[in-house]
Structure 1
Amino acid sequence: MAYRTALREGRVRRDAIPRCLYDLHLVVDDEDAPGFCVPVPPEGARFAVVGPIEDQMAEQRRKLRAVQARLASFESVYSQEQDAAQPLTVRLTGKAAINAALEVAVGGCRKELLTAQPGGGRSESALHDALGRDLRALGRGVRQRTIYQHTVYTHRPTMAYIEQVTAAGAEVRTLAEILERVIVCDREVAFIPLSEDASAGALQIRDPAVVRFVVRFFDQVWERSVPVRAEDPAQRSPVVTTDLRQSILRAVVAGETDSAIARRLGMSRRSVAEHIRKVSDHLGSGSRAQLGYLLATSGLLDRDE
């Protein structure tokens, strides 16, 4: 090894020195003996080789900080212009368009995801689409709160979805009746139905005032809802059973048909009819009109249990 020879002998012929020793400044020409080189300690060579590189890196870091600072000064201008150019409301029609918008919104969600899902149990395709989005959001630390109707307790696919998202950290509650389907991401963008017909499409909202209103609506419904029990989500609590029964009876007093009640509470018409039949038998009612009168005067609607 040429460097070892130079150290042992004090110098070595120049033509026996590999180029790398020159590049690393480990040898220099011997001024007293032309044609020979003398070795340099690695620590001394370090200053000669590494010093200029460190100076270049420091200069590049200074340039990087300067560029970042200049770009940062334009970020607020860009954001303002983007917000101004972005429509406050967008009509979404078709499953593909709605799912694409939801993927973007939920995919960009970083803090909070709020959803209210009326209509009882959801279709397996909708649950499949939602599960991936929701688990990814929960994995990022997003707080998810979801409200369903009490009738999901009898829908196994929806309950299976609830078990998976609650295990990942989501909070799920149920209520007898939910007025509208709602999805809100980070209190910045909300999705609501275009009409009572779910197939008509959805409205994407970015207007801060409207989104704030939707969030307040959600929070009020959330406070009145019953938590799904994580230890046994398939077992309905007495509160859920009573709440559902009372909602059906109040609808009967209000003169609603079985079909209307079923749509509103997210359950089958047959289940509604069975609930009403049991109460009719209990009160000895012979007609729907008589049942409404007996309910209004019996005190059943005033009971908590």
Structure 2
Amino acid sequence: MVGPTVPPPHAVISDEARELYARMATTGTQPSDGDEEAVRLLRNLGLIRDDPAQGFVLVDPQYVGARWEASLFSGAAAMLEQASAVSEALRPLRYSFDHRAAETAGLIEYYRGSEAINWRLEQILGGCGSELLVCQPGGPRRPEIIREAVGRDLAALRRGVTMHTLYHEHARTGAAMDDFVDVMTAAGAEIRTLDEHFERMIIIDRRIAVIPGDGILTDSAETVAYVVNDPGVAGFVARKFEQDWKRATPWGDVGNCPARLDGRKVAILRGLAAGESQQQIARRLEIRPRAMAEAIAELKALFDAQTLFELACRWKDAGGA
């Protein structure tokens, strides 16, 4: 008997083949002239076999399934063995790369335009081995940017990389951010927010720092980034990151308020506590007037406050900061 062909992971037995198998099992009849395609599929899968005396004979599906599983497990084991050998095979190249990196310490690379920057970032982040520190100022990240980042960041976390990401407080107002943060923190990342100005930067293994160049070292209107290959500079920038990190608030921590507040409401309360007007906060957070009024009304009811000033005071008393 010819052994069954190992099916792909999504192998599906057609309705015609399933009906033919059931008909042969219940009635004992042989396939008819119109069953050629179903017969071919069942033979390829090892579910029927040719017998010179009896014609086509059914094969126990449990036996066929066991053969499939054994073959798939064997293939998976071989792939795992190959995967484990990849690092060892590339180790000599890594030594060469590290030697070259040591020779080029202090080298500053310049990249202009999002495509070139992202290409270089993919290379650098793919080689991150122990620690990734990220500063993302501004508001919430766009959904398409989040989708691009998730796979890359999760891959780093699976390699055992420690990942700390700092966002501005305004990022809490993004609808997609909470889901993104849940995924990343579940994988081991730590994410905090800081209600202060800070610069965008990425520090990789405290040996490479990626910093923006637009408006700092160049007058170009295009997005510009500098990759600084210097452990001294990267370490200096990392220490600045650590100072900001200590003052930052973990994403899930909204103070000891009487109820859990979402990121938008926390941002509104912080604006009020800082002396901003309702209109100023709405413009800054890009909230429509009606939505802003509804949020204020909910917060007043939550904190039993009559005025905005009273609301800000009660929030501070409840542990808001």
TM norm structure 2: 0.52
TM alignment of 1:88-99, pairs within 5 A: 88-99=107-118
SS in 2 for 1:172: strand
Answer yes or no: is 1:217 the counterpart of 2:277: no
1:187 to 183, 206, 216: 206
- 1:238–1:126: structure 2 CA closer, same or farther, 3 Å change rule? closer
Partner of 1:207: 230
The one-letter amino acid of 1:282's match is T
**Contact 1:149–1:174 at 8 Å: present in 2 too?**
yes
- 1:145–1:268: structure 2 CA closer, same or farther, 3 Å change rule? same
Partner of 2:307: 282
What CA distance in whole angstroms lies between the structure 2 residues aligned with 1:111 and 1:152?
Answer: 26
Q: Deviation string for 1:131-179 (max 9, x for gaps)?
A: 1110110010101111122333332222222121111111111222341
The one-letter amino acid of 1:138's match is L
**Contact 2:269–2:315 at 8 Å: present in 1 too?**
no
CA deviation after TM superposition for structure 1 residue 128, in Å: 1.8
- 1:302–1:229: structure 2 CA closer, same or farther, 3 Å change rule? closer
SS in 1 for 2:134: strand
1:144 to 157, 163, 188: 163
TM alignment of 1:254-269, pairs within 5 A: 258=280, 262=284, 267-268=285-286
The one-letter amino acid of 1:159's match is D
Partner of 1:167: 186
CA deviation after TM superposition for structure 1 residue 208, in Å: 2.7
The one-letter amino acid of 2:269's match is R
What CA distance in whole angstroms lies between the structure 1 residues aligned with 2:287 and 2:267?
Answer: 18
**Contact 1:152–1:159 at 8 Å: present in 2 too?**
no
The one-letter amino acid of 1:101's match is R
What CA distance in whole angstroms lies between the structure 2 residues aligned with 1:283 and 1:127?
Answer: 35
SS in 1 for 2:140: coil
CA deviation after TM superposition for structure 1 residue 116, in Å: 1.5
Query: Which structure is larger by alpha-carbon Rg, 1 or 2?
Result: 1
What CA distance in whole angstroms lies between the structure 1 residues aligned with 2:260 and 2:226?
Answer: 34
Unaligned runs of 5+ in 1: 1-70, 285-297
Answer yes or no: is 1:104 the counterpart of 2:123: yes
SS in 2 for 1:156: coil
**Contact 1:116–1:183 at 8 Å: present in 2 too?**
yes
What CA distance in whole angstroms lies between the structure 2 residues aligned with 1:300 and 1:132?
Answer: 42
What CA distance in whole angstroms lies between the structure 2 residues aligned with 1:175 and 1:240?
Answer: 14
- 1:301–1:93: structure 2 CA closer, same or farther, 3 Å change rule? farther
TM norm structure 1: 0.54
**Contact 2:210–2:226 at 8 Å: present in 1 too?**
yes
Q: Deviation string for 1:107-143 (max 9, x for gaps)?
A: 1111111111111211122212211110110010101
What CA distance in whole angstroms lies between the structure 2 residues aligned with 1:269 and 1:192?
Answer: 31
Number of residue equivalences: 208
What CA distance in whole angstroms lies between the structure 2 residues aligned with 1:251 and 1:258?
Answer: 10
Partner of 1:9: none
- 1:248–1:189: structure 2 CA closer, same or farther, 3 Å change rule? farther
Report which of the two has the higher share of helix: 1
